[in-house]
């Protein structure tokens, strides 16, 4: 199977068969196709088995790096409870099946969520409350996107110090400045079983760009799924199915089990 890098050169993204890898995975748009609602996605038994096998093959050096909360990740992938950074690194589970470091919802974000729900909910906009992160989804109401962005921009200065807005093609998220996937990757890479390994990160969105930059800084392999704009990722895969195939072929089937 051929893969294409972001410099438009046709090349096969092949990994050495004896690589000592650490694998970081975004979820929505990377492992799962986007849906009109975050709860409208489902995980197949085949994907659960693939993730279980990858984690075993990598000696535990696999972690989700997601905008979803760790609780939402667990619900989605149940009964698996893999290592994970949720809410862009505001929440963590550092050990498989371990305790979760949770992040709470501030009062000003709760109030803003209620205001956004009252204003945009009737139009079909979904307001997702994720602790300190407020996600406003317009996938089911694309005509509302401009108004949602404007309302978020107006609200931003009134929030607690240290908040930023991330605007995408299908919505807006308001989050603390420290909510960075790059920081989550760095934290995992400083601990066992990740330390000393070469990292790989698969993501699909603008919120993954800081993660790609971190991976590049660490000399790893950055891969963006279905890129629609400029990206720091050095490689890309065409869609979710291609991501599954690449993980299976290049990591699971090719690479030998870890020693010890």
Rounded to an integer, the average pLDDT of 145-154 is 96
The pLDDT assigned to 145 comes to: 94
Q: DSSP for 9-67, please give it.
A: -EE-----TT--EEEEE--BTTTB---SSGGG----HHHHHHHHHHHHHTTT-EEEE-S
Three-state SS for 75? helix
Q: What is the pLDDT confidence band of residue 168, given thresholds at 50, 70 and 90?
A: confident
In CATH, the number for domain 107-176 is 3.30.70.1020
pLDDT at 161: 73
User: pLDDT tens digits, residue range 214-225?
Assistant: 999 999 999 999
The values of phi and psi at residue 176, to 5°, are: -65, 150
Q: Is 168 helix (H, G, I), strand (E, B) or coil?
A: strand
Domain extent listing, the chain: 3-102+179-253, 107-176
Tokens standing for residue 144: 């509302």
* Topology of domain 3-102+179-253, CATH: Rossmann fold (3.40.50)
- C-alpha 235/C-alpha 221 separation (Å) is 8
Helices (H), strands (E): how many in the chain?
7, 13
pLDDT in tens, 97-134: 999 999 999 999 999 999 999 999 999 999 999 999 99
231 pLDDT above the threshold of 60: yes
Distances (CA, A) of 67 to 87, 201, 216, 218, 248: 4, 15, 21, 22, 24
**Ramachandran sector of residue 29 (left: φ over 0; alpha: ψ -120 to 50; beta: rest):** left
> Against a cut of 0.75, is the pTM above it?
yes
**Nearest C-alpha neighbor of 139 from the set 34, 30, 26:** 34
Q: What is the pLDDT of residues 175-203, one digit of tens each?
A: 999 999 999 999 999 999 999 999 999 99
Q: Which residues are catalytic?
A: 26
Tens digit of each residue's pLDDT (9 = 90 or more) over 74-103: 999 999 999 999 999 999 999 999 999 999
**Tell me, what's the pLDDT at 256?**
52
């Amino acid at each position: 199977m051929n893969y294409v890098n972001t410099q438009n050169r046709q090349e096969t993204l092949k990994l050495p068969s004896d690589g000592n890898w650490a694998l970081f995975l975004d979820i929505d748009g990377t492992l799962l196709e986007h849906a009109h609602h975050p709860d409208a996605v489902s995980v197949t038994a085949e994907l659960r088995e693939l993730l279980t096998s990858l984690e075993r093959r990598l000696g535990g050096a696999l972690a989700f790096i997601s905008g979803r909360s760790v609780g939402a990740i667990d619900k989605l992938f149940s009964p698996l409870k893999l290592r994970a950074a949720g809410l862009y690194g505001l929440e963590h589970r550092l050990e498989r099946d371990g305790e979760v470091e949770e992040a709470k919802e501030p009062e000003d974000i709760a109030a803003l969520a209620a205001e956004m729900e009252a204003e945009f909910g009737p139009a079909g906009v979904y307001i997702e409350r994720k602790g300190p992160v407020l996600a406003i989804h317009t996938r089911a109401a694309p005509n509302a996107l401009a108004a949602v962005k404007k309302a978020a921009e107006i609200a931003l200065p009134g929030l607690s110090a240290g908040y930023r807005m991330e605007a995408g093609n299908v919505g807006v998220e308001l989050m603390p400045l420290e909510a960075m996937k790059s920081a989550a990757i760095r934290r995992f890479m400083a601990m066992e079983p990740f330390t000393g390994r070469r990292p790989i990160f698969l993501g699909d969105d603008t919120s993954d760009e800081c993660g790609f930059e971190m991976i590049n800084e660490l000399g790893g392999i950055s891969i963006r799924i279905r890129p629609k704009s400029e990206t720091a990722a050095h490689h890309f895969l065409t869609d979710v199915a291609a991501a599954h195939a690449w993980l299976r072929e290049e990591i699971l089937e090719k690479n030998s089990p870890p020693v010890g």
